[in-house]
A and B are shown apart, each in its own frame.
Chain A
Amino acid sequence: EADIYQTPRYLVIGTGKKITLECSQTMGHDKMYWYQQDPGMELHLIHYSYGVNSTEKGDLSSESTVSRIRTEHFPLTLESARPSHTSQYLCASSWLGELFFGEGSRLTVL
């Protein structure tokens, strides 16, 4: 089924650990995005990509990095996690302006 998948759904890690949040979509969309959202709160764009080998920083400064080596895959990496990174991270792809969101990865850094 065409969808956008995120793993892990939940992650609890210690300060200083490196983590990668995975995002894959099977819809063939060129445009992909990462949003950071505290539960029920505003959606902040942290990274976006318009295609393979294209990545840009979003409106909210983030210490994370992204890569886009394949159309369907848009992983987000934190080299050294801190408690301030505790949040939910939503991946999305878009077609004709409409965003399709994944179910999110809820990260807790102790």
Chain B
Amino acid sequence: GENVEQHPSTLSVQEGDSAVIKCTYSDSASNYFPWYKQELGKRPQLIIDIRSNVGEKKDQRIAVTLNKTAKHFSLHITETQPEDSAVYFCAASSTQGAQKLVFGQGTRLTINP
């Protein structure tokens, strides 16, 4: 089955700087790669996703890149703000078959003022 590895487990950046979180996946059949943000005490919420037919997607200050050959995908947050502090989870699934979403281990991002 699918296995998703996420790094780093914790990340601390200065407000205004950029943050990058990286994930690798194992199943070449995976074609859907979402990122979820979970603030303290809240439920995880989708912030951006990418499908395998594109290499990059951007939404304001966040962007996701995908390298299908290397089975890597990354989340990029620019001009970080205090409200970006949260735990971020990457995930991967195939839209065929069981369609189970497999999550990475999570990255705790702290934005320092």
Contact = CB atoms under 8 A, between A and B. Distances in A.
Interface string B33-44: 010101010111
Interface residues of B, number: 25
Contacts of A59: 1, 100, 102
A31 B101 CA distance: 12
Interface residues of A, number: 19
B43 A31 contact: no
Interface in B26-63: 32, 34, 36, 38, 40, 42-46, 49
Contacts of B105: 41-42
Contacts of A101: 43-45
A9 B75 CA distance: 31
Given A40-B38, A42-B103, A42-B105, A97 B95 contact: yes
A104 B40 CA distance: 13
A40 B1 contact: no
Contacts of B73: none
Interface in B55-113: 87, 89, 93, 95, 99-106, 108
Interface string A29-48: 00101000000111101001
Contacts of A41: 105-106
B34 A97 contact: yes
Interface of B: 1, 32, 34, 36, 38, 40, 42-46, 49, 87, 89, 93, 95, 99-106, 108
18 contacts: A40-B87, A40-B106, A41-B105, A41-B106, A42-B105, A43-B106, A45-B100, A58-B100, A90-B43, A90-B44, A94-B99, A97-B95, A98-B49, A99-B44, A101-B44, A101-B45, A103-B43, A104-B43
Interface of A: 31, 33, 40-43, 45, 48, 58-59, 90, 94, 97-99, 101-104
